[in-house]
Amino acid sequence: MAIVREAIQTRDARLTSPHEDIWAWLLHVWSKSAKQQDAELWPTMASLCSAYEQQGDDALTRACAQSFLSWLQREIYQTIRMSSVPDFKAQLMRDVHLQLVLLRSTTDLRAPALQYSHARSLTRQLHLHVGPTNSGKTYGALVALSRAKTGIYAGPLRLLAHEVWDRLNHGTVAPSVPPRACNLRTGEEVRVVDEHAGLVACTVEMADVTRSYDVAVIDEIQMIADPQRGFAWTQAVLGLPAKELHLCGEASAVPLLRQLAKLCGDDLHVHEYQRLTPLEVASHSLRGDLSKIERGDCVVAFSRSAIFQLKEQIEAKTGLQCAVAYGALPPETKSEQAKLFNAGKLDVMVASDAIGMGLNLRIKRVVFDTLSKWNGTERVPLSLSQIKQIAGRAGRYGTSRDEATSPSGLVLTRHEDEMDNLRAALAAPVRPITHASLQPTTQQMETLSLMLPHTTSSRSSRRRPSSTETTVSTLLDDVKALARLDVQSFTLADFETQKRMSPIIEARGRDRLTQAEKEKWANTPVNFRDERAVEWVGNAIELYAQGSLVEFEACAENLGTMEAEEAVAIEHEEAKARQAAAQTTAPVAVYATQDESVLNIHTLMLLESLHRTLTLYLWLGFRFPLAFCFRADVEARKLRTEASIQFCLEAIRVRRARRLTRLGRGEEAKKWLRKHLPSSSS
């Protein structure tokens, strides 16, 4: 109180127009007071340690900010109550105090469950289905959904949402369940089968928490702790107003879900499942010998280059034909590759950790090329959860619960020195998830942006925004510092993706975007490892900021992606013509040109970039429908691109088989070519 009294007495002029130096001075005085370890200002050491374990220095920054604001709010309030303070100064202090109260209430995330009054009006029955991969834990939940009058499935991937949507509409969830009309909603796609359909399958970010449901299913519930996307699972768990809420995933989520059920006042029922087929670790590795790869194997690597290198080596040493699946491939192409593998038309799957989620594969053995991966900065070991989830794909059931691929699944590594690590990882107990990821709502972010000081200019030489709007990066830094959390159950989401978008938005938006528009653009799911996709998004922001109708082609100029697709499309049409002239049933890729200048890995990468940007356009079309209005044209181009990617993959595989045959290597390759390729073309 004496501190603020001193401020009033010595800095009257400045208090009538508070500037940055006033707050810097207050912060300096507070720092002296904080050294006294005022119990009212600091959180308990246990809470602080818990927060630090989750988010490191960010938690300490938040604790200091909260301590300062608590101290300031208390001192100002006590000063207001002083009878000796002149009326005009007391009014100024009341205004400051009110601003502080509003600021702290806006960033108060300690009771997120109370934001969802509709869900809190129910005593929901939470059914937690937990078990390892290939345990059938999702089966019962989907049966309950298919029998409900109204319901929703929320999954982590468009591929999974599409699969559930397809199974519900075709009645293949269970033999006793007839087809049900179900609509599809993802970030890039909406398919309305029936306007009055009671069921919807969606990605978890698209789950509508304003509608009532009889049954809701949330898949891969362990992702609630994911730093980037976990907040969407948290929102769905806390907010879906469903009589029955089925949560499917790993047993690691049980402790956290018990806490959340208690916070929500819901009843929790835990259902534990065991694998439908046993999982065994092989007695030894491949010992580096890829000739030991067998039909039905899945070899797991963690980069595109490693995947294609393994594919070539396996085909050369065994003659077996390989399917591929990795994150950069479109979901539709991955699904097609999985179908070819499951049908036995391709012998081996070479894949990334993309197989850990979203693909039903009939795998006999899982072979890890390595147990580490590059995280963008350094090589890091796979987590226990990743190893367990990928290994669990061995011996996997198909879409029908009573059909197993093999009596048991086998898992091993390529090199012997990693076998002990594999055994230890699979034998390790499950590590419990203790915190759910959380972030402020869109409304809270908009309110906060209006309350905080705006960025107007900078003394540095670098260009800074000159508008009265706060940059996305600055706003997110403020959220990190100001948010108040229940640190026993929640942790703040990681805003790194949005922060990486911020300089692009400021540079290309040219101060023409509102704060709400900036926040939408910041959430654009761009792959920052793809320079072409990043450039495309920058072009799209610039055209949108100019008020133009955004055409896909205008954003993709000079990127080389459209030209690559056109070249492949021409090759595809010519191959179809040769196939028709030959009047055979051989795959169209057999008739592709032998010229490697078009159908190669580099072209495939360009097509993948093109598909990413087409998907981004569709995503933006739902957020800015008036500007991104050429949806039909983009959807048609996307289908053509998917066909070109599939054709390019097949052509690369056929050319490889031809090369092996000419070299006299690979009996299986010879058999495949004799079956599909006319003798006149070999």
Is residue 668 predicted with pLDDT exceeding 80? no
Could you give the percent of the chain with pLDDT greater than 90? 58
When the pLDDT of each residue in the chain is averaged and rounded to a whole number, the result is 85
pLDDT digits (tens, 9 = 90+) for 83-104: 666 777 778 888 888 888 898 8
Asked if 11 and 93 count as a contact pair (C-beta separation under 8 A), the reply is no
Distances (CA, A) of 452 to 31, 91, 101, 354: 22, 20, 13, 41
Quick one: how far is CA 99 from the chain centroid? 36
pLDDT reported for residue 583: 75
Per the model's pLDDT, the better-predicted residue between 288 and 446 turns out to be: 288
pLDDT reported for residue 660: 66
Is residue 456 predicted with pLDDT exceeding 60? no
Tokens of 438: 């959380």
pLDDT reported for residue 187: 93
Report the chain's C-alpha Rg in angstroms: 29
Q: What confidence tier does 332 reach under pLDDT thresholds 50, 70, 90?
A: confident
Is residue 112 predicted with pLDDT exceeding 90? yes
| Length of the chain, in residues | 682
d(CA 495, CA 311) in angstroms, rounded, equals 36
pLDDT reported for residue 402: 40
**Strand, helix or coil for residue 363:** strand
pLDDT reported for residue 580: 83
Is residue 381 predicted with pLDDT exceeding 80? yes
pLDDT digits (tens, 9 = 90+) for 466-497: 444 678 999 999 999 899 999 889 999 999 89
Alpha-helical segments (H) within 594-630: 601-623
Alpha-helical segments (H) within 411-463: 419-427, 442-451
pLDDT digits (tens, 9 = 90+) for 17-55: 444 455 555 555 655 555 555 545 455 556 666 666 767
Is residue 14 predicted with pLDDT exceeding 80? no
Q: Which domains does the chain have, with CATH numbers?
A: 3-111 (no CATH), 113-272 (3.40.50.300), 279-427 (3.40.50.300), 561-675 (no CATH)
Asked if 656 and 663 count as a contact pair (C-beta separation under 8 A), the reply is no
pLDDT reported for residue 681: 43
pLDDT reported for residue 663: 64
Asked if 293 and 322 count as a contact pair (C-beta separation under 8 A), the reply is no
**Strand, helix or coil for residue 351:** strand
pLDDT digits (tens, 9 = 90+) for 155-185: 999 989 999 999 999 999 988 889 999 999 9
Asked if 592 and 603 count as a contact pair (C-beta separation under 8 A), the reply is no
Map tokens 């018990």 to a residue. Answer: 258
**Strand, helix or coil for residue 533:** helix
pLDDT reported for residue 260: 98
Tokens of 237: 């768990």
Count of beta carbons in the 10 Å neighbourhood of residue 170: 11
Q: What confidence tier does 61 reach under pLDDT thresholds 50, 70, 90?
A: confident
Helices 87-106 and 442-451, axial angle in degrees (round to 10): 150
